[in-house]
């Protein structure tokens, strides 16, 4: 049996990133890799809870090219991802997060750290992370959504086979202002 998912970008979709001070980043590439700096964006917790209760699995899909560029380690990224999950506890499943799983891509073709300094099918706008999650979690792309703050997020969803109308960009340059507005739209959809 397949299930619907909402694929979520991490930085500036779930957590603050762009407005953080430079000292929040271990490198100059803008990927947050410090769990102490993780702050949920407004109403993200409520939006995630509503989506989860509506039957969607929440799957984070995030590029973390600062690993390839030497600005973070895999351990930094995993600790930051764990903090995001910790800030989104599932009240209906004690001890669990509202987030089903997090996939991240540490690769970047201009990186300097081997073996991550290559292009990779998981790096958005490629659909690799979405396709891996779909296989791992038995997800139904026809009823799933992709939400992110960048065009590469939307493109990754479309390349994976998600209906373009279900690939939504949030934030100042997006179709909707934030995840709460997206959740409301998803919950109104047939």
Judge contact between 24 and 83, C-beta under 8 A: no
Residue 88: alpha-carbon gap to chain centroid: 13
* Sign (positive or negative) of CA dihedral 23, 27, 32, 36: negative
61 - beta bridge partners? 103
CA–CA–CA angle 63, 6, 33 (5° rounding): 30
**Helices 179-188 + 44-53 axis angle, to 10:** 20
Return d(Cα 44, Cα 153) in angstroms, integer: 18
Token output for 154: 């939307």
Judge contact between 56 and 6, C-beta under 8 A: yes
Task: Indicate which residues carry an active-site annotation.
Answer: 9, 11
């Amino acid at each position: 049996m397949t299930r619907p998912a909402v694929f979520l970008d991490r930085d500036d979709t779930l957590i603050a990133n762009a407005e953080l001070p430079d000292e929040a980043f271990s490198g100059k590439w803008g990927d947050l890799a410090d769990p102490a700096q993780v702050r949920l964006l407004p109403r993200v917790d409520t939006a995630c809870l509503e989506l989860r209760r509506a039957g969607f699995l929440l799957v984070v899909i995030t590029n973390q090219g600062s690993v390839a560029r030497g600005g973070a380690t895999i351990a930094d990224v995993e600790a930051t991802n764990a903090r995001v999950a910790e800030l989104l506890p599932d009240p209906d499943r004690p001890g669990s997060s509202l987030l089903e799983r997090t996939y991240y891509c540490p690769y970047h073709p201009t990186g300097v750290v081997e073996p991550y300094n290559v292009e990779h099918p998981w790096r958005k706008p490629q659909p690799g992370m979405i396709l891996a999650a779909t296989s791992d979690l038995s997800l139904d792309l026809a009823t799933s959504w992709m939400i992110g703050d960048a065009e590469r997020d939307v493109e990754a969803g479309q390349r994976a086979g998600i209906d373009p109308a279900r690939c939504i960009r949030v934030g100042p340059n997006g179709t909707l202002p934030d995840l709460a507005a997206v959740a409301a739209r998803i919950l109104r959809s047939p």
